[in-house]
Amino acid sequence: MILDAGGPGLAQCGDQVLARMPGRLRDHAGTETHAAVMELRTGAHQLVPAAISELAELRAALSATLAETGLRSASAGTYPLALAQTVALSRGPRYRKIARTMRALAHRSPTMALHVHVGVPDPEDAIRVLNGLRSAVPPLIALAANSPFCEGRDGGFASERTAIFQAFPRTGLPRAFEDYEEYVRAVDALVESGALPDPTFLWWDLRLQPALGTVEVRVMDAQMEVADTAAIVALVQSLANMALEGELESWGAPEVLAENRFLAARDGMQASLIGERSRALEPVAATIDALIRRCRPHAELLGCAEALETARGLAAANGACRQRRRALMHGSLGSVLEMLARRFSPLAELPAGRPEPSLPAWAAPAVQAKPA
């Protein structure tokens, strides 16, 4: 999100910012539906550390570009304060189509997500990965929850972004597909009819990107810090490899997965999800701990074991938890936005804070970080 120079408000000037960017940064940036939101895109990398290093560079470069005009940037699933002005939309052709087809939905509060692409060039393998990752969506939502505040209030969701974005059509979990041909038939029925301009208007939690040869995981909130992103990317890549090897399979009726998805968005790391075998509610913290342990051999193979282990720390205090702690400590959402802005760039100097107060049960971290 782009923040105003003179205060905490949103600066609705993404198109202008993009136009003044230096060439390399502009190649990895783009506008989004809302004029106060920009997207940063890394290139394709074989190793997670390389992708995260580029992301850190892009964040620093964007911060420097914005600073030239007194603007700042911050990253979370939602803008936490009340909107002081009507939401403006970007002017690009894609966003004019979104405005025309989504109407009032396009003018909702801005939301920001983290999208992770995993290269799976064979289409049948990609379907296997897509199907396998469906059961991992609720734990990923809980771990990445970073939007407890929106429109100046805490609505009780750890990922308010998930709830807001659900108002759009073609969101949520895709169904399992028998093979790539069935996937193509389903998408073609929507696109060839003219109902959708193109397949990128499918906003599912998981989707294929045939032009890129990737499976795209789209369900996570945008992260406050680069290090948080590293943990999630390592987990996603490792889970995809598990699915590719047949060690992670989709389970549960659609109703169960949908309910788990809701519980994860509402309660974050405090959530209890319906268990695969027990059919009882089980702490998501235990589910994520088990996933990290199962992923470790895959992470070692993929060169992201160190980043994967940092997911334990994120589970202990994810973005939603840290935002709520900050609000309790300082008694204002303005201080939350200030924290988000300070932590956006990995080069920022963070001031030493007071000891953080204890949290009410609904806001406290669910587990403590554990050594590997």
pLDDT at 143 exceeding the cut of 50: yes
| 17-18-20-25 Cα dihedral, nearest 10 degrees | 120
Cα 68-69-75 angle, rounded to 5 deg = 90
Collapsing DSSP states into helix, strand and coil, what is residue 205? Answer: coil
Q: Which two tokens stand for residue 136?
A: 């991992």
Collapsing DSSP states into helix, strand and coil, what is residue 247? Answer: coil
Rounded Cα distance, 12 and 36, in Å: 4
The answer to whether 303 and 234 have CB atoms below 8 angstroms apart is no
pLDDT at 362 exceeding the cut of 60: no
Rounded Cα distance, 169 and 171, in Å: 6
Highest mean pLDDT among 90-104, 250-264, 308-322: 308-322
- Helix, strand, coil percentages in the chain from 3-state DSSP, rounded to 5: 50, 10, 40
Write down the residue that tokens 């789209």 correspond to: 218
124 CB-contact burial (10 Å; exposed 0-12 / middle 13-18 / buried 19+): exposed
What residue segments make up the domains of the chain, in order of their start?
2-342
Quick one: average pLDDT of 41-60? Answer: 96
- For residue 30, which of 14, 44, 43 has the smallest C-alpha distance? 14
Collapsing DSSP states into helix, strand and coil, what is residue 158? Answer: coil
pLDDT tens figures, 84-125: 778 888 888 888 888 888 888 778 999 999 999 999 999 999
Domain 2-342: which topology? Answer: Creatine Kinase; Chain A, domain 2 (3.30.590)
15 CB-contact burial (10 Å; exposed 0-12 / middle 13-18 / buried 19+): middle
Least confident interval from 95-99, 254-258, 305-309, 312-316: 95-99
pLDDT tens figures, 179-193: 999 999 999 999 999
Collapsing DSSP states into helix, strand and coil, what is residue 131? Answer: helix
Reported as a pLDDT band with limits 50, 70 and 90, residue 290 is: very high
- Quote the DSSP letter at residue 152: T
Rounded Cα distance, 105 and 226, in Å: 30
**CA torsion sign, 46 to 48 to 50 to 52?**
positive
- Angle subtended by helix axes 284-302 and 137-144, to nearest 10: 100
Rounded alpha-carbon distances, angstroms, from residue 110 to 36, 136, 172, 243, 271: 8, 25, 18, 33, 25
pLDDT at 279 exceeding the cut of 60: yes
pLDDT at 23 exceeding the cut of 70: yes
Average confidence score pLDDT of the chain: 90
Quick one: average pLDDT of 327-335? Answer: 96
Q: What percent of the chain has pLDDT over 70?
A: 93
pLDDT value of residue 360: 33
**CA torsion sign, 50 to 173 to 158 to 305?**
negative
Q: What percent of the chain has pLDDT over 90?
A: 81
pLDDT value of residue 296: 98
- Quote the DSSP letter at residue 184: H
The answer to whether 209 and 126 have CB atoms below 8 angstroms apart is no
Quick one: average pLDDT of 13-29? Answer: 94
pTM for the full predicted model: 0.91
- For residue 77, which of 148, 28, 171, 23 has the smallest C-alpha distance? 148
pLDDT value of residue 347: 60
* Helix (H), strand (E), coil (C) string for 12-68: CCHHHHHHCCCHHHHHCEEECCECCCEEECCCCCCCHHHHHHHHHHHHHHHHHHHHC
pLDDT at 292 exceeding the cut of 50: yes
Collapsing DSSP states into helix, strand and coil, what is residue 111? Answer: strand
